Structure 1
């Protein structure tokens, strides 16, 4: 396709108008990792078909049209009021600095919000009356996922805490989240603070529990930036946040009125032995976790009941990053921690970890997306409140009927060579009858 300067200007305007319209009408779907792929495909199809009708191009030019749309989309997103879905750190040209005093006021306001003490009855009730950011994606997903969310939020509140399965994928994430925080603080020279569960100031049904917020004012770039952490076990780390995680970060930023969130993914692995750990020279980041359990032999029954949640949960001590990775230094740290905790806890195991893979991308607040999502979230909450009273059992997942194979019996009939078959299943079948064409023809003559 050959174009002059005026043609190129018209093409740019045409593509930009299509991109702008697509973002305006489809912004709710930007949560999908495939959003830009779908955008390019849809706009390419529209423009290619139109140009073919005008005689500007033919079928063989589709790939060239697609390239034009991709390139212009990349330019458009640099100036769009709707931010990119996520940005790699390598793509950040000029990281923005914050107004320190304004951000300090905002962080202090978040710290001073009243919250019930964790794991108490009041804390469970507080969360029961919220849709937390980690689950809100279900309200925006399929009918089945929305039903699942409504069903779970309608079920009676259960505050019973069972023992912890330390081998589960969920517990792996819990175990390594503090270590990811330590790694992030070490690498980016910052400080993260926890803010508990925060209620949205306008949408009282929304709650957010960010993994941390940068609170070191000396770090002008990261100060006030939220952090969301995912510790990966099996899936690939692609650098593109999964849909449910992207939704979670957007809701958290809206709830806390913050503009940025670092989405951090890490994959920690564990050495099988102490010897393997010290022989490892391939990994830059590695260390030790001490797994302690509380002693109960000197506790009364009432004391055990009052501290059941802590007793049933493992207690981990993480070696700081400033400890030299030598056996002498590590042994000295282990002995110090054991001595400090010997009156209340016993050392259950020593874990030797290494950081196998990591990713950190920036997600910016997308106000247009939240404006589109908020009515759906609010409508879902109203349904939850109604069905807590009127009934919610119809939302339960349908159980599949178990197919029972029949027991086939072959019985010998007395005093004969015949046999009878019982419980033979009926099968759909076709009966084929072969006709003798010649004989049939003779009979009809």
Structure 2
């Protein structure tokens, strides 16, 4: 009998188990004997047996028993290691909060960023990028005049900037904590590297979540799953190394905008009465006001999970203070995925030489000019020249196929 489905079930639910163990074991050092942990063990075991009750035989139950014990113990060992680092994470957060850093996307932030390879470009520098090649990044880092961004790319970036605060508030609400935002943080030892994490959970978070990094993506079009795209995984590894932290939640949030307030008002959650601030899918909704300033667009967000009347009162208050807004959008969250990513020191150490090599090339081409890089990119665009040859006489028994030329 094929037991792949059972194996897949264990693999796909390991993160759920570890989150549950984190929540129930945050204040104990004796995990195995803690009654709450014992209850989780019993409940999960029964849940798995129920999941496969239609195919359950004594032999399959024996297989599940063995797999479960290994699976549960592995998760328990992971939580133990994190418990051992609780004091370190707490102290590290205090240390990070004391850093004097430029505000994210400020002029100083961009200036410092120009002289570092940042985590968001790490995959590109390693030749494994999704958005540009290694040579493309090298050209960008060594050119005084930056390439103009297409309107489509600019709109996607602006959407992410606009709704990242909504995703942050959503995460804070889900986990009952506060996120501390940071600017660009240089690596404390690797001078050519830095990172700008979207945020890190504060020291007054639930103990199991103190010092957990948050990376947010709000794709307007991209279809996402629980799987973390490789280039984002690399970005988070760089961020964790810069901050000397152990875990990062990769939060993907899908948002849509209503056509008008009437459509917003009609999309409601009813559960023994009207539930404020929720859609019929039991997900948050709200209002954002756009204000154009000399520095760019600024956003004002309505109070979290507020009634329509409260939001309209808030809107009138903001307009009274700032004047009529440029635009207003009633939004809703339609879907989200939160995937835990753990630090991988072995992988990081394996790519440090490549990071140093990339930046040495940046320094070199800034000194001598980047014409060589441009020529390399152009030669790739033209592609390899086709080899031209003449067949004077066909060989009997063989046919020429275009795929074999």
SS of residue matched to 1:352: strand
RCO comparison, higher one (Cα < 8 Å, 6+): 1
1:166 and 1:392 mapped to 2: Cα distance?
A: 25
Distance 1:229 1:116, change over 3 A: closer
1:196 and 1:97 mapped to 2: Cα distance?
A: 28
2:356 and 2:346 mapped to 1: Cα distance?
A: 16
Equivalent residue number for residue 340 of structure 1:
321
Confirm whether residue 155 of structure 1 aligns to residue 155 of structure 2: no
1:178 and 1:358 mapped to 2: Cα distance?
A: 15
1:226 and 1:120 mapped to 2: Cα distance?
A: 21
Equivalent residue number for residue 217 of structure 1:
204
Distance 1:218 1:134, change over 3 A: closer
Q: Any stretches of 5+ residues in structure 1 without a counterpart?
A: 2-67, 84-91, 295-307, 402-427, 429-445
2:153 and 2:327 mapped to 1: Cα distance?
A: 12
Give how far 1:108 is off. 2.2
Distance 1:240 1:127, change over 3 A: same
Equivalent residue number for residue 360 of structure 1:
338
1:277 and 1:270 mapped to 2: Cα distance?
A: 9
Confirm whether residue 140 of structure 1 aligns to residue 121 of structure 2: no
Q: How does 1:274-285 map to 2 (within 5 A)?
A: 274-281=261-268, 282-284=280-282, 285=284
Give how far 1:161 is off. 11
2:126 and 2:73 mapped to 1: Cα distance?
A: 27
How large is the Cα RMSD of the aligned pairs?
A: 3.6
Give how far 1:390 is off. 2.1
Structure 2 counterpart of 1:188, from 175, 191, 212: 175
Structure 2 counterpart of 1:248, from 215, 235, 241: 235
The answer to whether the Cα contact below 8 Å between 1:97 and 1:220 also exists between their aligned partners in 2 is: no
The answer to whether the Cα contact below 8 Å between 1:95 and 1:221 also exists between their aligned partners in 2 is: no
Confirm whether residue 323 of structure 1 aligns to residue 323 of structure 2: no
Distance 1:121 1:336, change over 3 A: closer
Say how many residue pairs are matched.
Answer: 303
The answer to whether the Cα contact below 8 Å between 1:208 and 1:255 also exists between their aligned partners in 2 is: yes
Confirm whether residue 398 of structure 1 aligns to residue 382 of structure 2: no
The answer to whether the Cα contact below 8 Å between 2:119 and 2:236 also exists between their aligned partners in 1 is: yes
The answer to whether the Cα contact below 8 Å between 1:268 and 1:357 also exists between their aligned partners in 2 is: yes
Confirm whether residue 230 of structure 1 aligns to residue 208 of structure 2: no
Confirm whether residue 289 of structure 1 aligns to residue 288 of structure 2: yes
Structure ID, larger Rg: 1
Structure 2 counterpart of 1:131, from 117, 120, 125: 117
Structure 1 counterpart of 2:351, from 359, 368, 373: 373
